[in-house]
Structure 1
Amino acid sequence: MLQQAVSRYFNNYKGFSREIWILALITFINRAGTMVLPFLSKYLKEDLHFSYSQVGWVMVCFGLGSMIGSWLGGKLSDKIGFYKVMIFSLFTSGLLFFVIQFITSFVGLCISMFSIMIIADMFRPAMFVSLGAYAKPENRTRALTLVRLAVNLGFAAGPALGGLIIMGIGYQGLFWVDGGSCIISILIFALLVKEKKKEKTTMDHFENAERKSVFRDKPFWIFLFISFLTAMVFFQLFTTLPLYHHEQFSMTEFQTGLLMSFNGLMIFFLEMPIVSYFERKQVDKVKIILFGSLCMAISFYLLLINAWAGILIVSMFFITFGEMFAFPFSNSFAMSRAPKGHEGRYMALYTMSFSFAHIMSSKTGMEIISRFGYSANWFFMGSCGVLAMIGALWLRKIQSTDN
Structure 2
Amino acid sequence: MKKINVYRGLPKEVYIISIARFINSLGNFVFPFITFFLSDKLNMNEDKVGYFVMMSMVSYVPGSIIGGRLGDFFGRKITYVICQMLAGLCVFICGFLNYSHILPWLLILSGVFNGAARPLLTSMITDLVVYKERKRAFSLSYLAGNLGFAIGPVVAGLLYKNYTRLIFFGDGITTFLASTLIFVFIKETKPNKEDIHKINDILEKNEKEEKGLLITVLLKRPFLLIFSVIIAFQNFVYSQHSFTLNLQMQEIFGVEGAKLYGILMATNGIVVVVLTIIITNLTLNLPPLLSVSLCGIFFALGFGMLAYIKLFYLFIISTVIWTIGEIFSATNVDSYISKHTPINFRSRFNAIIPIISGTGYALGPYISGICLKNGSTINQIWILTFYISLISSILLYIQHKFEK
Q: Which residue of 2 aligns with 1:117?
A: 111
Match of residue 313 from structure 2: 310
Shift of residue 100 of structure 1?
3.1
Matched residue, 2:203? none
Q: Deviations over 1:39-64 (max 9, x none)?
A: 00000001110010110111121122
Aligned pairs for 1:60-71 (under 5 A) are 60-71=54-65
Q: Is the 8 A contact 2:236 2:364 kept in 1?
A: yes
Q: 2:385 aligns with which of 376, 381, 385?
A: 381
Distance (Å, rounded) in 1 between the aligned partners of 2:293 and 2:210: 32
**Secondary structure at 1:159's aligned position in 2?**
helix
Comparing 349-358 with 226-235, greater Cα deviation is found at: 349-358
> CA contact under 8 A between 1:149 and 1:271: conserved in structure 2?
yes
1:188 counterpart = 2:164: no
- How far, CA to CA, are the matches of 2:196 and 2:63 in structure 1? 23
* SS in structure 2 of the partner of residue 206 of structure 1: coil
Q: How many residues align?
A: 390
* Distance change in 2, residues 1:33/1:141 (3 Å): same
Mapped to 2, the partners of 1:329 and 1:278 lie a distance apart of 9
Matched, 1:268 2:273: yes
Q: 1:391 and 1:68, CA in 2 relative to 1: closer, same or farther beyond 3 A?
A: farther
What is the TM-score normalised by the length of structure 2?
Answer: 0.91
- Distance change >3 Å, CA 391–CA 75, structure 1 → 2: farther
Q: How far apart, in 1, do the equivalents of 2:172 and 2:146 lie?
A: 19
TM-score normalized with structure 1 length:
0.91
Cα distance in 1 for partners of 2:340, 2:349 equals 8
5+ unaligned residues in a row in structure 1: which ranges? 1-6
Separation in 2, partners of 1:153, 1:236: 22
2:91–2:107: 8 Å Cα contact kept in structure 1? no
CA deviations on 1:228-278 (whole Å, 9 max, x unpaired) are: 111221121122212211211333422221221111111112112211221
Q: Shift of the alpha carbon at 1:287?
A: 1.2
Q: What is the root-mean-square deviation in Å for CA atoms of aligned residues?
A: 2.0
1:180 aligned partner, one-letter code: I
Q: Find 1:218's aligned residue among 213, 222, 235.
A: 222
Q: How many angstroms does 1:203 deviate by?
A: 6.0
Residue 238 of structure 1 corresponds to: 242
Among the aligned pairs, what percent are the same residue? 22
What's 1:4 paired with?
none
In structure 2, what is the equivalent of residue 3 of structure 1? none
> What is the Cα deviation at residue 225 of structure 1?
1.0
8 Å contact from structure 2 (residues 13, 186) kept in 1: yes
Q: Distance in 1 between matches of 2:343 and 2:30?
A: 36
Q: Where does residue 198 of structure 1 map in the other structure?
A: 191
Farther off after superposition, 205-214 or 304-313: 205-214
Structure 1 CA distance for aligned equivalents of residues 178 and 142 of structure 2: 16
Aligned match of 1:327: 330
Q: How far apart in 1 are the matches of 2:394 and 2:312?
A: 31
| 2:142 counterpart of 1:139 | no
Deviation at 1:293, TM superposition (A): 0.7
Which of 256, 271, 282 aligns to 2:261? It is 256
Q: What amino acid is the match of 1:175?
A: F
Give 1:299's match in structure 2, choosing from 295, 299, 302. Answer: 302
| 1:92 alignment counterpart | 86
User: Is the Cα contact below 8 Å between 1:303 and 1:375 reproduced in 2?
Assistant: yes
